[in-house]
Amino acid sequence: MIEHIAEIEADKTKQLAILREPLFLDSNHIELFEKQLEQFLLAIFSQPYERSFRRGRVMWQSFVEQRYKRAMYLLALEDRIKAPYRKLRQFLRAFWDSLKEKRSHT
């Protein structure tokens, strides 16, 4: 296979011969594509209205669920980061208040 490709790369006439070949082997490819497109669109538009939203709702629900999970993850991460600082602030506030109280008694 690699030798065949190298042979084509080396010979410009073979390259041009390949480029002149038709893109699609089937001569009625346009009719085939149009028929497939028509069948696809008919399948979409011939279904009942209630069923026509089944994918959209699922996709939207998945999107909302992913955003919710990410938000909950970030909130939990924020809480884990802030928790030690909150404890330190409470400790320092209690320590400061105790110093002020001792100072007021003297």
> How do residues 36-54 score in pLDDT, each as one tens digit?
999 999 988 888 877 766 5
Distance CA 32, CA 37 (A): 9
Give the gyration radius of the chain's Cα atoms: 35
* Reported pTM: 0.35
Which of the residues in the chain have pLDDT under 50?
A: none
Q: What is the pLDDT of residue 63?
A: 83
Query: Domain limits of the chain?
Result: 1-46, 54-106
pLDDT of residue 101: 87
Place of tokens 């480029």: 19
Where do runs of H (alpha helix) occur along 1-106?
2-10, 12-20, 29-45, 54-105
